[in-house]
Amino acid sequence: MMRAFLLGAGLGTRLRPLTWHLPKPLIPFRNSPLLDCALGHLAAAGVGEFVINTHHLPEAYPTAYPDSQWQGRPIHFRHEPVVLETGGGLANVRDLLDGPESFFVYNGDVLTDLPLAPALQHHRESGNLVTLILRSSGPVRNVAMDRATGRLVDVRNARGTNHPDLFQFTGLYLVHPEFFRWLPPAGTVESVVHAWLRAIDSGAPLGGYLADEGLWLDLGDRASYLAAHRLSDAFPAWRTSPEPISRIHPEARVHASAIIDATSAVAADATVGSGADLHNTIVWRGGIVAPGARLSRCVVLPNSVAEGCLMDADI
Protein backbone atom coordinates (compact mmCIF):
# COMPACT_ATOMS: atom_id res chain seq x y z
CA MET A 1 0.00 0.00 0.00
CA MET A 2 1.42 3.37 -1.01
CA ARG A 3 1.84 5.88 1.81
CA ALA A 4 2.26 9.63 2.19
CA PHE A 5 3.68 11.90 4.88
CA LEU A 6 1.84 15.20 5.31
CA LEU A 7 3.52 18.02 7.20
CA GLY A 8 1.11 19.31 9.82
CA ALA A 9 3.40 20.51 12.62
CA GLY A 10 4.06 24.08 11.48
CA LEU A 11 3.04 27.06 13.62
CA GLY A 12 1.40 29.01 10.80
CA THR A 13 2.69 32.33 12.11
CA ARG A 14 1.95 34.25 8.88
CA LEU A 15 -1.71 33.22 9.10
CA ARG A 16 -2.31 34.48 12.63
CA PRO A 17 -4.86 35.11 14.09
CA LEU A 18 -6.46 32.35 12.01
CA THR A 19 -3.99 29.79 13.31
CA TRP A 20 -4.64 30.72 16.93
CA HIS A 21 -7.84 28.73 16.45
CA LEU A 22 -6.71 25.85 14.21
CA PRO A 23 -3.47 24.42 12.83
CA LYS A 24 -2.84 25.74 9.34
CA PRO A 25 -3.67 22.45 7.55
CA LEU A 26 -7.08 22.40 9.25
CA ILE A 27 -8.27 25.91 8.41
CA PRO A 28 -11.56 25.61 6.53
CA PHE A 29 -11.63 25.72 2.77
CA ARG A 30 -15.17 25.69 1.40
CA ASN A 31 -16.29 24.26 4.76
CA SER A 32 -13.90 21.32 4.89
CA PRO A 33 -10.40 21.17 6.40
CA LEU A 34 -7.77 22.34 3.93
CA LEU A 35 -6.02 19.02 4.56
CA ASP A 36 -8.93 17.19 2.92
CA CYS A 37 -7.79 18.62 -0.40
CA ALA A 38 -4.32 17.09 0.00
CA LEU A 39 -5.75 13.76 1.17
CA GLY A 40 -8.08 13.61 -1.81
CA HIS A 41 -5.31 14.59 -4.22
CA LEU A 42 -3.06 11.83 -2.87
CA ALA A 43 -5.82 9.23 -2.74
CA ALA A 44 -6.56 9.86 -6.42
CA ALA A 45 -2.88 9.03 -7.11
CA GLY A 46 -3.19 5.68 -5.33
CA VAL A 47 -2.14 6.56 -1.77
CA GLY A 48 -3.94 4.38 0.76
CA GLU A 49 -2.31 5.31 4.07
CA PHE A 50 -1.34 8.65 5.58
CA VAL A 51 1.14 9.83 8.22
CA ILE A 52 0.72 13.33 9.69
CA ASN A 53 2.98 15.07 12.19
CA THR A 54 1.47 17.51 14.68
CA HIS A 55 2.62 20.17 17.13
CA HIS A 56 0.47 23.29 17.36
CA LEU A 57 -3.05 22.55 18.68
CA PRO A 58 -2.60 18.79 18.22
CA GLU A 59 -6.02 18.03 19.71
CA ALA A 60 -7.63 19.58 16.63
CA TYR A 61 -6.52 16.68 14.41
CA PRO A 62 -8.43 13.87 16.16
CA THR A 63 -11.38 16.25 16.32
CA ALA A 64 -11.26 16.67 12.54
CA TYR A 65 -10.57 12.96 11.95
CA PRO A 66 -12.09 11.20 15.00
CA ASP A 67 -11.65 7.70 13.58
CA SER A 68 -8.03 8.34 12.49
CA GLN A 69 -9.02 7.68 8.92
CA TRP A 70 -10.08 9.48 5.77
CA GLN A 71 -12.62 7.68 3.59
CA GLY A 72 -11.50 4.34 4.98
CA ARG A 73 -7.79 5.07 4.59
CA PRO A 74 -5.89 5.03 7.90
CA ILE A 75 -4.17 8.13 9.30
CA HIS A 76 -1.27 7.82 11.74
CA PHE A 77 -0.59 10.93 13.81
CA ARG A 78 2.87 11.54 15.28
CA HIS A 79 3.11 14.41 17.79
CA GLU A 80 6.24 16.56 18.06
CA PRO A 81 6.50 18.28 21.48
CA VAL A 82 9.33 20.30 19.92
CA VAL A 83 9.02 21.22 16.25
CA LEU A 84 11.61 19.13 14.42
CA GLU A 85 11.40 21.01 11.10
CA THR A 86 11.01 19.27 7.76
CA GLY A 87 14.01 16.94 7.95
CA GLY A 88 13.75 16.06 11.62
CA GLY A 89 10.02 15.54 11.23
CA LEU A 90 10.55 13.07 8.39
CA ALA A 91 13.24 11.21 10.36
CA ASN A 92 10.82 11.03 13.29
CA VAL A 93 8.31 8.96 11.30
CA ARG A 94 10.78 6.57 9.70
CA ASP A 95 9.20 3.60 11.44
CA LEU A 96 5.87 4.42 9.78
CA LEU A 97 7.27 4.86 6.26
CA ASP A 98 10.28 2.56 5.95
CA GLY A 99 9.97 -0.34 3.53
CA PRO A 100 10.48 -1.21 -0.13
CA GLU A 101 8.15 1.38 -1.66
CA SER A 102 8.59 5.08 -2.29
CA PHE A 103 6.18 7.51 -0.63
CA PHE A 104 4.93 11.07 -1.13
CA VAL A 105 5.79 14.00 1.12
CA TYR A 106 3.21 16.79 0.95
CA ASN A 107 3.27 20.19 2.68
CA GLY A 108 0.07 20.68 4.64
CA ASP A 109 -0.53 24.24 3.41
CA VAL A 110 -0.37 23.53 -0.32
CA LEU A 111 -3.47 23.61 -2.50
CA THR A 112 -2.98 22.19 -5.98
CA ASP A 113 -4.39 19.92 -8.65
CA LEU A 114 -1.09 19.28 -10.47
CA PRO A 115 -0.94 15.71 -11.85
CA LEU A 116 0.75 13.33 -9.43
CA ALA A 117 0.65 10.10 -11.46
CA PRO A 118 3.23 11.23 -14.07
CA ALA A 119 5.53 12.46 -11.29
CA LEU A 120 5.29 9.09 -9.57
CA GLN A 121 6.05 7.24 -12.82
CA HIS A 122 9.04 9.50 -13.49
CA HIS A 123 10.35 8.94 -9.97
CA ARG A 124 10.14 5.17 -10.31
CA GLU A 125 11.72 5.07 -13.76
CA SER A 126 14.52 7.51 -12.94
CA GLY A 127 15.92 5.58 -10.00
CA ASN A 128 15.98 8.78 -7.94
CA LEU A 129 16.13 8.57 -4.17
CA VAL A 130 14.23 11.86 -4.07
CA THR A 131 12.23 13.58 -6.79
CA LEU A 132 11.10 17.14 -6.12
CA ILE A 133 7.98 18.24 -7.98
CA LEU A 134 8.84 21.63 -9.47
CA ARG A 135 7.30 24.43 -11.50
CA SER A 136 8.96 26.76 -14.01
CA SER A 137 7.52 29.87 -12.40
CA GLY A 138 6.68 30.93 -8.87
CA PRO A 139 7.52 33.41 -6.15
CA VAL A 140 10.59 31.53 -4.86
CA ARG A 141 12.59 29.84 -7.60
CA ASN A 142 15.57 28.52 -5.66
CA VAL A 143 15.93 24.87 -6.72
CA ALA A 144 18.66 24.38 -9.32
CA MET A 145 18.08 21.45 -11.68
CA ASP A 146 20.12 20.52 -14.71
CA ARG A 147 17.56 20.45 -17.53
CA ALA A 148 19.54 17.93 -19.55
CA THR A 149 19.89 15.30 -16.83
CA GLY A 150 16.96 16.15 -14.57
CA ARG A 151 19.32 16.00 -11.56
CA LEU A 152 19.31 18.49 -8.71
CA VAL A 153 22.40 20.68 -8.58
CA ASP A 154 21.78 23.04 -5.67
CA VAL A 155 19.10 24.40 -3.34
CA ARG A 156 19.00 28.04 -2.21
CA ASN A 157 22.44 28.39 -3.85
CA ALA A 158 23.85 26.81 -0.69
CA ARG A 159 26.78 25.41 -2.67
CA GLY A 160 27.43 28.67 -4.53
CA THR A 161 26.82 27.12 -7.94
CA ASN A 162 24.91 30.13 -9.32
CA HIS A 163 23.22 27.67 -11.65
CA PRO A 164 21.04 29.39 -14.27
CA ASP A 165 18.17 26.89 -14.28
CA LEU A 166 16.07 27.68 -11.20
CA PHE A 167 12.63 26.30 -10.36
CA GLN A 168 9.86 26.71 -7.80
CA PHE A 169 9.56 23.84 -5.30
CA THR A 170 5.88 22.96 -4.88
CA GLY A 171 6.14 21.44 -1.41
CA LEU A 172 5.51 17.97 -2.87
CA TYR A 173 8.15 15.33 -3.44
CA LEU A 174 8.71 11.59 -3.67
CA VAL A 175 11.13 9.67 -1.48
CA HIS A 176 12.62 6.20 -1.69
CA PRO A 177 13.23 4.85 1.84
CA GLU A 178 16.97 4.56 1.11
CA PHE A 179 17.05 8.33 1.51
CA PHE A 180 16.56 7.92 5.27
CA ARG A 181 20.32 7.37 5.57
CA TRP A 182 20.86 11.04 4.71
CA LEU A 183 18.46 12.31 7.34
CA PRO A 184 19.56 13.29 10.87
CA PRO A 185 18.98 10.99 13.87
CA ALA A 186 15.44 10.94 15.23
CA GLY A 187 14.80 13.90 17.51
CA THR A 188 17.14 16.27 15.64
CA VAL A 189 15.80 19.66 14.58
CA GLU A 190 16.80 20.16 10.95
CA SER A 191 15.45 21.26 7.59
CA VAL A 192 15.23 18.53 4.96
CA VAL A 193 17.20 20.84 2.64
CA HIS A 194 20.37 19.92 4.56
CA ALA A 195 19.75 16.23 3.86
CA TRP A 196 19.13 16.95 0.17
CA LEU A 197 22.43 18.83 -0.03
CA ARG A 198 24.34 16.05 1.75
CA ALA A 199 22.93 13.56 -0.74
CA ILE A 200 23.74 15.81 -3.71
CA ASP A 201 27.30 16.27 -2.44
CA SER A 202 27.73 12.49 -2.28
CA GLY A 203 26.52 11.99 -5.83
CA ALA A 204 23.29 10.26 -4.80
CA PRO A 205 20.53 10.45 -7.44
CA LEU A 206 18.25 13.33 -6.53
CA GLY A 207 16.13 14.80 -9.29
CA GLY A 208 13.22 16.99 -10.20
CA TYR A 209 10.02 16.60 -12.14
CA LEU A 210 8.61 19.65 -13.89
CA ALA A 211 4.84 19.94 -13.40
CA ASP A 212 3.54 23.17 -14.89
CA GLU A 213 0.03 21.81 -15.49
CA GLY A 214 -2.89 22.78 -13.31
CA LEU A 215 -2.93 25.37 -10.57
CA TRP A 216 -0.81 25.63 -7.45
CA LEU A 217 -1.11 27.82 -4.35
CA ASP A 218 0.91 28.02 -1.17
CA LEU A 219 -1.60 29.12 1.47
CA GLY A 220 1.01 30.65 3.73
CA ASP A 221 -0.79 33.94 4.37
CA ARG A 222 -4.31 35.39 4.44
CA ALA A 223 -4.01 36.88 0.94
CA SER A 224 -3.45 33.44 -0.58
CA TYR A 225 -6.18 31.97 1.66
CA LEU A 226 -8.73 34.42 0.29
CA ALA A 227 -7.37 34.00 -3.25
CA ALA A 228 -7.99 30.25 -3.01
CA HIS A 229 -11.68 30.90 -2.46
CA ARG A 230 -11.77 33.16 -5.51
CA LEU A 231 -10.25 30.33 -7.59
CA SER A 232 -12.02 27.40 -5.95
CA ASP A 233 -14.31 26.59 -8.87
CA ALA A 234 -11.21 26.11 -11.05
CA PHE A 235 -10.01 23.18 -8.91
CA PRO A 236 -12.43 20.28 -9.51
CA ALA A 237 -9.79 17.73 -8.43
CA TRP A 238 -9.21 19.13 -4.95
CA ARG A 239 -11.34 16.49 -3.22
CA THR A 240 -12.54 13.01 -4.07
CA SER A 241 -15.11 12.96 -1.28
CA PRO A 242 -18.63 11.96 -2.31
CA GLU A 243 -19.92 15.00 -0.39
CA PRO A 244 -19.93 18.14 -2.55
CA ILE A 245 -17.89 21.13 -1.51
CA SER A 246 -20.48 23.49 -0.05
CA ARG A 247 -19.94 27.24 -0.23
CA ILE A 248 -22.76 27.85 2.24
CA HIS A 249 -23.13 24.99 4.71
CA PRO A 250 -26.69 23.66 4.96
CA GLU A 251 -26.52 24.10 8.74
CA ALA A 252 -25.57 27.79 8.50
CA ARG A 253 -28.20 30.31 9.56
CA VAL A 254 -28.35 32.76 6.66
CA HIS A 255 -31.12 35.33 6.38
CA ALA A 256 -32.91 35.27 3.05
CA SER A 257 -32.07 38.94 2.42
CA ALA A 258 -28.30 38.48 2.89
CA ILE A 259 -26.06 38.77 -0.17
CA ILE A 260 -23.15 36.31 -0.30
CA ASP A 261 -20.99 36.32 -3.41
CA ALA A 262 -19.45 33.25 -5.04
CA THR A 263 -16.01 33.87 -3.49
CA SER A 264 -17.32 33.71 0.08
CA ALA A 265 -18.10 30.76 2.36
CA VAL A 266 -20.24 30.31 5.45
CA ALA A 267 -19.68 27.38 7.81
CA ALA A 268 -22.04 25.30 9.90
CA ASP A 269 -23.39 27.00 13.03
CA ALA A 270 -22.48 30.39 11.59
CA THR A 271 -25.02 33.20 11.39
CA VAL A 272 -25.46 35.85 8.69
CA GLY A 273 -28.03 38.47 9.55
CA SER A 274 -30.58 40.30 7.45
CA GLY A 275 -29.27 42.65 4.81
CA ALA A 276 -25.64 41.59 5.29
CA ASP A 277 -23.40 41.77 2.22
CA LEU A 278 -20.34 39.49 1.99
CA HIS A 279 -17.63 39.72 -0.66
CA ASN A 280 -14.68 37.28 -0.61
CA THR A 281 -15.37 36.74 3.08
CA ILE A 282 -15.05 33.50 5.04
CA VAL A 283 -17.26 32.92 8.06
CA TRP A 284 -15.94 30.10 10.25
CA ARG A 285 -18.03 27.79 12.39
CA GLY A 286 -19.75 29.79 15.11
CA GLY A 287 -18.98 33.17 13.53
CA ILE A 288 -21.68 35.83 13.46
CA VAL A 289 -22.27 38.52 10.84
CA ALA A 290 -24.57 41.20 12.23
CA PRO A 291 -27.59 42.47 10.31
CA GLY A 292 -26.61 45.10 7.75
CA ALA A 293 -22.88 44.37 7.96
CA ARG A 294 -20.84 44.88 4.79
CA LEU A 295 -17.69 42.76 4.70
CA SER A 296 -15.01 42.58 2.01
CA ARG A 297 -12.00 40.25 2.16
CA CYS A 298 -12.67 39.41 5.81
CA VAL A 299 -12.45 36.28 7.95
CA VAL A 300 -14.98 35.94 10.76
CA LEU A 301 -13.55 33.63 13.41
CA PRO A 302 -15.44 31.38 15.88
CA ASN A 303 -17.64 33.14 18.43
CA SER A 304 -16.84 36.55 16.93
CA VAL A 305 -19.33 39.17 15.76
CA ALA A 306 -18.64 41.21 12.64
CA GLU A 307 -20.64 44.38 12.28
CA GLY A 308 -20.54 47.60 10.33
CA CYS A 309 -18.45 48.11 7.19
CA LEU A 310 -15.17 46.18 7.29
CA MET A 311 -12.43 45.44 4.75
CA ASP A 312 -9.34 43.19 5.05
CA ALA A 313 -10.10 42.36 8.68
CA ASP A 314 -9.90 39.21 10.77
CA ILE A 315 -12.63 39.45 13.36
In the 8-state DSSP scheme, what is residue 13? G
Contact 140, 168 (CB under 8 A): yes
What type of residue is 237? A
CA separation for the pair 151, 115 (Å, rounded): 20
pTM of the model: 0.90
CA separation for the pair 209, 38 (Å, rounded): 19
| pLDDT tens digits along 98-117 | 888 999 999 988 889 899 99
Sequential DSSP letters for 190-232:
--HHHHHHHHHHHT--EEEEE--SS-EEE--SHHHHHHHHHHG
Look at residue 160 and tell me whether its pLDDT is greater than 60: yes
pLDDT at 186: 84
CA–CA distances in Å: residue 188 to residues 80, 88, 115, 140, 308: 11, 5, 33, 26, 49
Q: Which domains does the chain have, with CATH numbers?
A: 2-234 (3.90.550.10), 253-311 (no CATH)
| pLDDT tens digits along 182-231 | 999 888 999 999 999 999 999 999 999 999 998 898 887 888 888 888 88
CA separation for the pair 116, 46 (Å, rounded): 10
Average pLDDT of the residues in 70-85: 92
- 297 pLDDT band, cuts 50/70/90, is very high
Q: Output the average pLDDT for the chain.
A: 90
pLDDT at 56: 87
